[in-house]
């Protein structure tokens, strides 16, 4: 795959608010610079006040988030969505810049807004993701706050979100367990590979807590039952997903991270790119069918006009005066009097 080797790998970082996406990108950027392989960095968060890294393309250079909010009378989330929509209209220029730098970089790092749903479920987010994935091999890096996922309910929420992103984007998803300097992620990988260990964690949590109005951390019994069921449903998802533990603070796990990215890259070419090509071909075929159908209808209409010309009323063509009865039959409303009160026809 010589042509594939020349393509840089795009890494789109997603994650819940506070999971550390921007800090992870900063660490990845620093690591690649230390390896003498500087990446191409894109910031898609219009609301961020200060970046901890230098971006080659910054949405804030194109769209002023504060002015968008003021001009369209929007709140914070509406302002981010509208800013992304405006930026998407010029995304062909971004693709042109990426095309120029393809041969110079090995990785493209893309930071997204802190509110994950704004990018994941918006039309502009889907357009940007599809556009990049059609140009270069793309990996979705889903950043997880490891200490917070020690709660089974939070862990399950992250897994369900990652699963939905996998099936929505149709791209390889890499689970990035961040902040391993504060909490090792081995418990999470165990829960993903061993259903009984996750069930035991739920049982222990239920046994060590007594439900009362002051205990807000305890999940009701129906939640435990639901999470047990969800863990069984996600078993196939767990078996096909790749995970890696890193620390954006200390830089631990960087080598393992890029090894996992290389595996996802191979998965992209093996499983995802053929699917993307198939979907693109289907869209092109449907577009060609619509164009062909429109052309056929136009030709048919032209033939009909040539063979059966529209007949005009002879009296109108010859300039014959129509009397009141003719006008009435044709639905022409007239008054029998002129403005001066005289009746017609005037002598």
User: Are 69 and 77 spatial neighbours (Cβ–Cβ below 8 Å)?
Assistant: no
Name the pLDDT band for 132 (thresholds 50, 70, 90).
very high
Question: Which pLDDT tens digit goes with each residue over 156-178?
Answer: 999 999 999 998 988 999 999 99
Task: Go through 160-172 and write b for each residue having 16 or more CB atoms within 10 A of its CB, e for each that does not.
Answer: ebbbebbeebebb
> What is the residue-wise DSSP string for 160-175?
HHHHHHHHHH-S-EEE
**What is the number of H-type helices and E-type strands within the chain?**
16, 7
Name the pLDDT band for 297 (thresholds 50, 70, 90).
confident
Which residues partner with 40 through β-bridges? 108
Q: Rounded distance, CA 244 to CA 254, Å?
A: 9
What is the pLDDT, as a whole number, of residue 15?
92
The residue range of the domain holding 65 is 9-206+226-279
Q: How many domains does the chain have?
A: 1
User: Are 175 and 139 spatial neighbours (Cβ–Cβ below 8 Å)?
Assistant: no
Name the pLDDT band for 68 (thresholds 50, 70, 90).
very high
User: Is 337 contained in some domain?
Assistant: no
Name the pLDDT band for 277 (thresholds 50, 70, 90).
confident
User: Are 83 and 59 spatial neighbours (Cβ–Cβ below 8 Å)?
Assistant: yes
> What is the residue-wise DSSP string for 318-335?
TTPPP-HHHHHHTT----
| Residue 58 dihedral angles phi and psi, to the nearest 5° | -125, 120
User: Is 132 contained in some domain?
Assistant: yes
pTM confidence score: 0.77
- Alpha carbon distance, N-terminus to C-terminus of the chain: 95
Question: Which pLDDT tens digit goes with each residue over 216-260?
Answer: 444 557 777 888 888 888 888 888 899 999 999 999 999 999 999
User: Are 134 and 279 spatial neighbours (Cβ–Cβ below 8 Å)?
Assistant: no
Q: Rounded distance, CA 113 to CA 65, Å?
A: 12
- Cα angle at 320 between 314 and 325, to 5 degrees? 95
User: Is 57 contained in some domain?
Assistant: yes
User: By CB neighbour count within 10 A (0-12 exposed, 13-18 middle, 19+ buried), where does 94 fall?
Assistant: buried
Q: Rounded distance, CA 43 to CA 47, Å?
A: 10
What is the pLDDT, as a whole number, of residue 65?
94
User: Is 294 contained in some domain?
Assistant: no
Question: Which pLDDT tens digit goes with each residue over 305-346?
Answer: 665 554 545 444 444 444 555 545 555 554 455 455 554 444
User: Is 96 contained in some domain?
Assistant: yes
User: Is 233 contained in some domain?
Assistant: yes
User: Is 286 contained in some domain?
Assistant: no
User: Is 54 contained in some domain?
Assistant: yes
CATH number, position 172: 3.40.50.300
């Amino acid at each position: 795959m010589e042509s594939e080797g020349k393509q840089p790998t795009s890494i789109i970082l997603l994650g819940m608010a506070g999971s550390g996406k921007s800090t992870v990108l900063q660490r990845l950027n620093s690591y690649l610079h230390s390896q003498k392989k500087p990446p191409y960095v894109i910031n898609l968060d219009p609301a961020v006040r200060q970046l901890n890294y230098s971006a080659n393309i910054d949405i804030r250079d194109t769209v002023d988030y504060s002015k968008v909010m003021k001009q369209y009378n929007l709140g914070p989330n509406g302002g981010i969505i509208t800013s992304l929509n405006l930026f998407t209209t010029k995304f062909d220029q971004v693709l042109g810049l990426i095309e120029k730098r393809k041969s110079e970089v090995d990785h493209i790092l893309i930071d997204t807004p802190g509110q994950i749903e704004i990018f994941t479920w918006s039309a502009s987010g889907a357009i940007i993701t599809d556009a990049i994935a059609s140009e270069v091999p793309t990996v979705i890096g889903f950043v997880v706050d490891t200490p917070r996922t020690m709660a089974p309910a939070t862990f399950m929420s992250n897994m369900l979100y990652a699963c939905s992103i996998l099936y929505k984007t149709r791209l390889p998803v890499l689970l990035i367990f961040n902040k391993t300097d504060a909490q090792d992620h081995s418990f999470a990988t165990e829960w993903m590979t061993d259903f009984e260990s996750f069930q035991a964690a739920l049982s222990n949590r239920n046994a060590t807590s007594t439900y009362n109005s002051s205990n807000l951390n305890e999940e009701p019994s129906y939640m435990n039952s639901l999470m047990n069921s969800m863990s069984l449903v996600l078993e196939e998802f767990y078996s096909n997903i790749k995970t890696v533990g890193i620390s954006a603070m200390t830089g631990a796990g960087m080598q393992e991270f890029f090894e996992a990215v290389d595996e996802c890259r191979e998965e992209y070419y093996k499983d995802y790119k053929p699917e993307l090509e198939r979907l693109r071909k289907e869209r092109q075929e449907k577009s060609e069918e619509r164009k062909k159908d429109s052309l056929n209808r136009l030709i048919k209409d032209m033939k009909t006009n040539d063979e059966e010309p529209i007949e005009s009323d002879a009296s109108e063509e010859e300039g014959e005066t129509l009397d009141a009865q003719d006008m009435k039959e044709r639905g022409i409303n007239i008054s029998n009097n002129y403005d001066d009160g005289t009746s017609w026809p005037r002598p």
